Amino acid sequence: MVLKVYNTLTRSKEEFTPLHGNRVNMFVCGPTVYDYMHLGHARTYIAYDVIARYLRYKKYSLFYIMNITDVDDKIIERAKEKNVHPIKLAVEYENYFMEDMERLGINTVNLFVRASEHLEEIINQVKTLIEKGYAYETETGVYYDVTKFLDYGKLSRQKPEELSQHRVDPDPTKRHPQDFALWKKRSREEFGWDSPWGYGRPGWHIEDTAITVTYFGPTYDIHGGAIELIFPHHEAEIAQAEAATGVKPLVRYWVHTGLLTVRGEKMSKSLGNFITVRDALKKYDAETLRFFFILTHYRSPIDFDEQKLEQARESLRTLYNTLQNLQETEQADELTEEDKNLQTKLQQFKQKFIDAMDDDFNTPVAVSVLFELAHEVNRVIQKNKRISSKLKEDVSNLFKELGGILGILQKPIRKEAETEIVDKLLEVIIEVRNELRNRKEYEIADRIRNRLREVGIVLEDTGKGTRWRFS
């Protein structure tokens, strides 16, 4: 089966064929860095991480760019409140963002691109749009004239009369209420840059197209983002880029992730109903969070409740228990009939998993295949009480390989005795480190913590003493 991807533009699943042979260029809207990442963001970025992992698993040569919006009115407002420079605030939250991404195991992005480092490209694109008659300058800024771009509304499937019903910025200098800002003129006391239209800041939508045209050219394969970005953000991107370059389409596959809601309302900073990734990671490990999200198809909405997260943890644990069982089962020298059966079935399980992923990255079905496999393995172990070493290895490798696409089942499986020893060893290390800290030997104490971090063990100093966990 070939990979099929749901394209928001055509509202249908399409066969995936990249523009340049095996090469896939993908861009995903990144964070506006003025606050911590919350679970709504995590859902989106985990979804594209799985998509990226799968594309690479299918041997596509994927180049994945994510932008960092570090120039934005929200950042400037927050910086004012906190009385720090906006860039300083943005850098601080960008660092937190990177830490959270790493802890969630999201490691597929090739390049993070900051908007503030692409002012020249942004200004050039605005210039082109003015020259081509798509944009105009007023005393408050430069605006895109949406009536000039006949395709405006094609992604969100809205007619001009529907578009005018959206709540818009009522700036009286604009020709039409739907016209969006490419450049916002600002006073010199505010943070900004010089431009041919005076001092100010770029609009939000122009960042993405200035970046993608620079790195990918006028057309690329996949543009991702959460569903609420379809309008106006992605609609505006199409208008900007297709008008500026004269090439259609800007994007071959528009891929959007469903919302994460809390009691039916979108999880968002503005509603204040969000849980940060850092808080969630204090209670749940990264694989549990990932598993919770991939139990639902990436396009479907998820209504968050903690009970479901607990269930996800339990259900992931049953997969680990199977791996543990397998590890602890005695080895047999010869394959039994059952073993042989299972051996041949492994290929079928793998194919079923791939078929599910080929069907628009259907992770819930892919996960159900892992459970079927686990069920089968448990059945054989229970019946035979022994398993051949070759089969043992093949089964664990398959779990690891398929789990790796989803970013789960990557933790080492230990024998019970080993686990106990690790626990005791860490107790000893923590005791020594605390003694060093009591003696104010902070340098060595920190070195111990850093070295442990490098081998995948995180120490956390809490009010109730030092705890450890696998990172």
Closest CA to 27 of 202, 237, 182, 244: 237
Contact 341, 387 (CB under 8 A): no
β pairing state of 61-68 and 111-114: parallel
The reply on whether position 70 binds Zn ion by CB under 5 A is no
Residues binding Zn ion: what is the number (CB under 5 A)? 2
The reply on whether position 72 binds Zn ion by CB under 5 A is no
Looking at residue 116, the DSSP 8-state letter turns out to be: G
Report, in Å, the least distance between residue 77 CB and Zn ion: 19
| 3 state DSSP class of 220 | strand
The reply on whether position 29 binds Zn ion by CB under 5 A is yes
Provide the mask over 158-197, with x wherever binding to Zn ion is found by CB under 5 A and - wherever it is not. ----------------------------------------
Contact 174, 138 (CB under 8 A): yes
Report, in Å, the least distance between residue 290 CB and Zn ion: 23
Nearer to Zn ion, 256 or 449 (CB): 256
The interface region with Zn ion, picked from 22-30, 35-43, 131-139, 358-366 by CB under 5 A, is: 22-30
Give 347-354 contacts, CB < 8 A, sequence gap 24+. 349/373, 349/376, 349/398, 350/398, 350/401, 350/402, 353/402, 354/1
Task: Report the distance separating Cα 285 and Cα 458, nearest Å.
Answer: 12
How many CA atoms, within 13 angstroms, populate the side-chain half-sphere of residue 387? 26
Question: How many distinct helices (H) and strands (E) make up the chain?
Answer: 15, 18
Report, in Å, the least distance between residue 225 CB and Zn ion: 6
Nearer to Zn ion, 72 or 208 (CB): 208
Range 242-261, binding Zn ion (CB under 5 A): none
The interface region with Zn ion, picked from 21-29, 41-49, 349-357, 393-401 by CB under 5 A, is: 21-29
Q: Which residues contact 225 (CB under 8 A, 6 or more apart)?
A: 28, 29, 44, 233, 234, 256, 257
Nearer to Zn ion, 34 or 399 (CB): 34
Provide the mask over 200-229, with x wherever binding to Zn ion is found by CB under 5 A and - wherever it is not. --------x---------------------
Task: Report the distance separating Cα 426 and Cα 460, nearest Å.
Answer: 12
Nearer to Zn ion, 105 or 203 (CB): 203
Nearer to Zn ion, 208 or 358 (CB): 208
User: Of all residues in this chain, which one has the CB nearest to Zn ion in the complex?
Assistant: 29
How many beta carbons lie within 10 A of that of residue 169, not counting itself? Answer: 12
Q: Is 340 annotated as a binding residue?
A: no
Range 288-327, binding Zn ion (CB under 5 A): none
Residue ranges in contact with Zn ion by CB under 5 A? 29, 208
Binding site, residues? 269
Binding site for ATP, residues? 269
